Amino acid sequence: MAAVQRLLRAAAPGGSATAAAAAAARRRMTSLAPSAAAGFPFAAEERVRRRPMAERNVQWVFLGCPGVGKGTYASRLSRLLGVPHIATGDLVRDELASTGPLAAQLAEIVNQGKLVSDEIIFNLLSKRLKKGEDQGESGFILDGFPRTVKQAEILDGVTDIDMVVNLKLREDVLLEKCLGRRICGQCGKNFNLACIDVKGENGLPAIYMEPLLPPNNCMSKLITRADDTEEVVRNRLRIYNDMSQPVEGFYREQGKLLEFDLPGGIPESWPKLLQVLNLEDQEELKLAAA
C-alpha cells in the first residue's frame, strides 16, 4: 500500500484552504523512513504506489482507547485536510453489506465471534486505498489501526506513515463517557447523556465534558449498546492497554508518536489539538471542520 496521488488542487472547492492546512500539517511530520516488512498479503493489482511526501497529502494514524473520540477528531481533521478518514471497522461492515468475494467469509467469522485475520483486514484496506487513488484521493487518516506490532510492521512495508497521534484520557473519565453513550434506535445517531465534571487530583487534570444530548424526537428512542456495561468497558480498556503499549513503543522508536492528553470535551480539546499539529492559524478551517 502506499501514498495516493498529489495534494488536492487549490482550484477544487475549498482547495486553497485545504492545501494550506495540508502544507502546515506536513511541516509537523518527521522524515524518518519506515522499516520494510516481508510477505505483503496483497495481490499485485491491489497495491498502490508510494509517492514522496512532497507529492501527496498527510498519512496519519489515530490511536486511543475505546470511547476516547478517535473517530470524532479523525473525521474533523479529514475534512480540514481534505483526506479520507478510514476506520477498519467501517471497511468490515461495508464488505459484509456487499456482495463482494469476502462477504460470505467475513459473515462466517463474525457470526462465530472470531477475530478478522490480518490478511483480510489488509486486503480490505488495500482495496480501499487503491479505489481512492483511482478516484484522485490524496493521503489518509487511519482510525484505530494498526492494533498490533505485526500489523504495524506490515503497514510499514507497504506504505509510509508520517505521524501517529495517540489520544489519551483519564480512565475514570473514559468509563463514565462510555457508560453515557446512547444510540437513537430510529435515526442511528450517537449521543452521550453523561455530564462529566471531574476534579483534578493526584496529579491528574480536572476534566469537564458537556453531554451530547439528542433532539426531542430522538429522546424516547434512545438505546444502550449491549456491551456498554461497567464490567465490559473495564475489560475492553484493560485489553486495549495491554495490546497498545507495544504498538505505541514501535512508533515511539521511529520518532512518529505524538501523545495528546485530551483536556476536556471538543470545545477545549479541538483548538489544542490543532495547535500541537501546527494548524492553529487556520481559523477558517476550524469553523469549516467544526
Q: Catalytic positions, please?
A: 70, 147, 181, 225, 236
CB 1 within 8 A of CB 48: yes
Longest dimension (CA), the chain: 55
Alpha helices in 29-117 (DSSP H): 70-81, 88-96, 103-111
CB 84 within 8 A of CB 78: yes
| Residue at grid coordinates 473514559 | 174
Q: Nearest to residue 47, comparing CAs of 2, 85, 88, 84?
A: 2
Provide the CB-side half-sphere exposure for 176 (13 A, CA): 15
Q: Compute, in degrees rounded to 10, the torsion defined by CA atoms 193, 194, 195, 197.
A: 180
Report which residue type is found at 100: G
Within its chain, how far is the Cα of 169 from the centroid?
Answer: 15
CB 148 within 8 A of CB 246: yes
